[in-house]
Amino acid sequence: MVHILGDGNSLFNQYLSEIRDEVIQKDPLRFRKNLERIGEIFAYEISKELPYKLKEVTTSLGVAKMRVLEQQPVLATILRAGLPLHQGLLNCFDQAENCFISAYRKYDPNGNFHIDFQYIASPLLDNKIVILSDPMLATGSSMEVGYHALLEKGEPKHIHLVSLIASRQGIDYIQSKLPNDLVTIWVGAIDPEMTPKSYIVPGLGDAGDLAYGSKIDSKEIVPHPHF
């Protein structure tokens, strides 16, 4: 199932419009804050799909029966772009365990790339609900790599994939590659196109660079003459 939060009228679209705006993007603090806010909204919407139990809570005047989560989800993200979105989810699921996946686009001389998985830091995931976040779902390859990395740590009960913006190609790819009974997809918007370098159009650009500054590729580094 695919949930598209931006299809309705809500404050979510105000934050999404600011994140897309090339002028507002020049303020990295606001960009990160808006990603965090959107993470909180995703958390609220996902929370409606999670299992609950009744708990008796003692107040100063009596006992109230309240519905509370049966278990906290595990929050996973793909470094580095996913960190502000992850923080927004964590603001709401504040007792959650956390998982971090290192993966990036590794380009060859012809400009083609594959997703290079490096490591995962995670608790055991057997029979737990996992929320895996990455701001952009372009080709779908990063999410696929992240999904298989999670399975190295156990067999989750269910996995919720969260992306701010997805391409139609990426959505189709994920639905064809991952089990539909185990995975639910949550996105803010689905954009129709990608560039030859697999950036989403209109998209928003490179979320990691906008949040944390531009990076250089290792092959661009010139060794210091003293080394």
Q: Is residue 99 part of a domain?
A: yes
One digit per residue, pLDDT tens: the chain, 227 residues?
A: 899 999 999 999 999 999 999 999 999 999 999 999 999 999 999 999 999 999 999 999 999 999 999 999 999 998 888 899 999 999 999 999 999 998 766 656 666 666 667 788 999 999 999 999 999 999 998 899 889 999 999 999 999 999 999 999 999 999 999 998 999 999 999 999 999 888 899 999 888 889 888 876 644 444 445 54
Boundaries of domain holding 200: 2-51+67-204
Domains identified in the chain, total number: 1
Q: What pTM, to 2 d.p., does this model score? A: 0.89
211 domain residue, yes or no: no
What secondary structure does DSSP assign to 1-58, as a single string?
-EEEGGGS-SHHHHHHHHHH-TTGGG-HHHHHHHHHHHHHHHHHHHHTTS-EEEEEEE
Residue 227 domain flag = no
The verdict on residue 134 lying in a domain is yes
Give a yes or no: residue 14 inside a domain. Answer: yes
Asked whether residue 226 is assigned to any structural domain, the reply reads no
d(CA 69, CA 210): 35
Q: Which CATH number do you get for residue 154? A: 3.40.50.2020
202 preceded by a cis bond (ω within 30 of 0):
yes
Residue 131 falls inside a structural domain: yes
**Cβ–Cβ under 8 Å, residues 89 and 43:** yes
Q: Is residue 76 part of a domain?
A: yes
